[in-house]
Structure 1
Amino acid sequence: MSDKQKKASAYWRENVRYLFILLAIWFAVSYGAGIIFKDALNQIKMGGFELGFWFAQQGSIYVFVVLIFVYVRLMNSLDKKYGYNE
């Protein structure tokens, strides 16, 4: 395997690792906070609504948007690390 192929393979391996981590965070927030821990979170009120309801309706969307920006920053630094920042 050439050096260029090793570099590309390492780049994609790290990219996929970032994707799995960020998707796991989103899953934990949307499924965990919105469904599994709903009853415990409903004891807390936010803007007049129960926090479990808020996470199920709004929170997971906000977290997803934040994760998009985190992914962009991670990919920009990854591109610079492997020299793909053209």
Structure 2
Amino acid sequence: MSDHNVNAEKYWQANLRLILGSLVVWALASYGCAILLRPMLSGIAVGGTDLGFWFAQQGSILVFILLTFHYAWKMNKLDEEFGLQE
């Protein structure tokens, strides 16, 4: 296998790890906190409502936005590491 193919495979594996990690965080925030763990979070007040409802209405959206910026930042670093920056 050529050196270029090895670098391309390492780059792709790092990208997939980043995507998988982002999806896990997103699922925990969206499904875990907003749906599955809502009864446990109902006693914690945030802004006049319980934490489970807050995650369902706003928290999961904010987590998604933060994940988008985090992914872009990490991909820029990964591009630099593999010499693929724009």
TM range, normalised to the smaller chain? over 0.9
Does residue 56 (structure 1) correspond to residue 56 (structure 2)? The answer is yes
How much does 1:74 deviate? 0.6
- Give the Cα separation in 2 of the matches to 1:42 and 1:54: 10
The percentage of aligned residue pairs carrying the same residue is 47
How much does 1:77 deviate? 0.6
Within-5 A mapping of 1:10-25: 10-25=10-25
TM-score, scaled to structure 2: 0.95
- Give the Cα separation in 2 of the matches to 1:25 and 1:39: 20
TM-score, scaled to structure 1: 0.95
Task: Give, as a single letter, the amino acid of the residue that structure 2 aligns with 1:69.
Answer: F
Task: Give, as a single letter, the amino acid of the residue that structure 2 aligns with 1:57.
Answer: Q
Structure 1 runs (4+) greater than 6 angstroms displaced: none
- Give the Cα separation in 1 of the matches to 2:15 and 2:58: 28
Q: How many corresponding residue pairs? A: 86
Alignment RMSD, CA only? Answer: 0.8
Task: Give, as a single letter, the amino acid of the residue that structure 2 aligns with 1:52.
Answer: G
Unmatched 5+ residue regions in structure 2?
none
- Give the Cα separation in 2 of the matches to 1:52 and 1:15: 31
Task: Give, as a single letter, the amino acid of the residue that structure 1 aligns with 2:21.
Answer: I
Task: Give, as a single letter, the amino acid of the residue that structure 2 aligns with 1:21.
Answer: G
